[in-house]
Chains A and B, each alone.
Chain A
Amino acid sequence: MRKTIFIIAALVFGGLMLGALDSIHPFGEPGNVPMDEYFLHHALEDRSSENVVTSIVFDYRGFDTIGEAAVLFTAVCSVLALFREGAKK
């Protein structure tokens, strides 16, 4: 019984996935071209940073990088909570 339900669900969701593949845009044609063009042509002139990836990470998308730094901080906190010593008697 569970096997039949599983097979039906797999077929339905697999079909939906294959149907959705039809509507993604083709390879090599990105969706938001004006933004890419702006970064490629203005990042070096505005910020004089040769590494455009870094200038996007720390300047244009600086607010996201706070989240990235917070993720690392949270990871350290959770590792500390898992692996710290027990209370000394």
Chain B
Amino acid sequence: MKPLSIVVRTCCDMFAWFMVVFGSYVIIHGDVTPGGGFQGGAIVATFMALLLVAYGGEKVLSWVKFSFYNGLLIVGLLLFLLFGFSGMANSFFYNFLAVPEAVALAGGAHGIIPPSGTIALMDIAVGIEVTGGLTLILLYMFKGTRMFNLIEMGGETGHDSR
């Protein structure tokens, strides 16, 4: 796919980065405003969709690093499991950092961690995971369908060569 006109490219440049900022906002404020990790991650993944539409696969796929988004996927999932296991002293997925609302309103919350405890932290972890996962799905499907002729196919893998 060839790049689209300069009007489309300029609009997509602006809105792609706006989507990253807006999605990060939805992820980080997941425990106080409507939204959360899954929804915010899907918004951040729109970044790659806009770039693929505007610039075409050849340019974007030579620029993007698949291993980065692979790392986001793995790190997000492992962080999520880590927060789940860290409440293990009580039970699996116990919210050990939560502060009751009355205490939090009286100033008893701890520093930088929100009073909702692991809810906010898991939101961020799942947001990282969904960002990486949906972007990987987008990139792989675009590469496999739209750029099929450009891939040097050596046959199906994982079978006997006869």
Contact = CB atoms under 8 A, between A and B. Distances in A.
B84 A66 contact: yes
B155 A87 contact: yes
Interface residues of B, number: 50
A10 interface: no
B126 A59 contact: no
Contacts of A57: 36
A69 B119 CA distance: 15
Given A47-B117, A49-B116, A88-B154, A54 B36 contact: yes
A51 to B, nearest CB: 6
Interface of A: 44-51, 53-55, 57-59, 62-63, 65-66, 68-69, 72-73, 75-76, 79-80, 82-89
Interface of B: 30-38, 73, 77, 80-81, 84, 92-93, 95, 98-102, 104, 115-120, 122-123, 126, 129-130, 133-134, 136-137, 140-141, 143-145, 151-157
